[in-house]
Amino acid sequence: MQKQQVYIQLIGNLAIPLLGYFWWNWSLYFILLFYTLDLLAALIVVFLKARKIKQVTQNTQIPTSTFASVAIMFFALIVALFQIGSALLHPSIDFQKEIIAFLTYTEMGIQQWIILVPMVGLMAYSSYKMEFILPQLFLQQDEKTVWKNYLKEQFLMVAFSAILMLISVAYHFSDLVVLLIILAVTTIYNFLQKTGK
């Protein structure tokens, strides 16, 4: 991937949470819900990649259902950690009320779910097309490697979420400090991944 493209993606990944927190008055939980949408989109993309490789290679030896089950389990675990962490930082939080407020949040007369949910899906699909389909990586990569790379990232996400949750609760971090740690760590990780360093 070209450096200019990498920087644009990184800025985009930073912009929405920061705009949400400072401009739209999103809570930390709102931003975690946004990350949940992003993680769900990434999970769908890895299924698309695996399916495309299987179509091309006709390889039925890879235990797709096993990898898929582990991937779904990791996703569920990350979401659970988001919930537990939020409950520990804000014991009075009402999750149902927050989720409804997140989806129905209105900006310029338009509810957020009408724009945000399709936008996250479109960004993920565009990235899949530009970074996987156009360079024909499905001819160079095998399905097992795609799953293993994804699961490694998700394992790191679980570990990071658990450690951050414990530290945040132990040291009574503010929402802003937690957000800045999340943005710093994810930006550095994404930069290293995309530049191959």
In the prediction, which pLDDT does 1 show?
Answer: 54
Q: Indicate the angle between helix axes 3-22 and 175-195, nearest 10 degrees.
A: 170
**Alpha-carbon span 97 to 99, nearest angstrom:** 6
Q: Tens digits of per-residue pLDDT, 73-129?
A: 999 999 999 999 999 999 999 999 999 999 998 877 888 788 888 989 998 999 899
* Rounded Cα distance, 8 and 170, in Å: 35
> Lowest mean pLDDT: which of 36-50, 58-72, 84-98, 169-183?
58-72
* Average pLDDT rounded to a whole number, residues 18-45: 94
Q: Give the Cα separation of 38 and 35 in Å (integer).
A: 5
pLDDT at 107: 77
DSSP letter (8 states) at residue 138: G
Spatial contact of 66 and 20, defined as CB atoms under 8 Å apart: no
Three-state SS string over 26-85 comes to: CCHHHHHHHHHHHHHHHHHHHHHHHHHHHHHHCCCCCCHHHHHHHHHHHHHHHHHHHHHH
CA torsion through residues 116, 118, 121, 126, sign: negative
Report the 10 Å Cβ neighbour count for 145: 11
pLDDT of residue 2: 63
For 164-185, what is the mean pLDDT?
96
Q: How confident is the model at residue 197 (pLDDT cuts 50, 70, 90)?
A: low
Average pLDDT value for residue range 151-174: 95
Tell me how far apart the alpha carbons of residues 112 and 106 are, in angstroms, rounded to a whole number. 6
Say whether pLDDT at 32 is over 70: yes
Q: Does residue 166 surpass a pLDDT of 90?
A: yes
Identity of residue 189: Y
- pLDDT of res. 88: 96
Q: Both tokens of residue 102?
A: 């997140």
The predicted-structure confidence for 39-57, as pLDDT tens digits, reads as follows 999 999 999 999 999 889 8
The reported pLDDT for the residue numbered 8 is 83
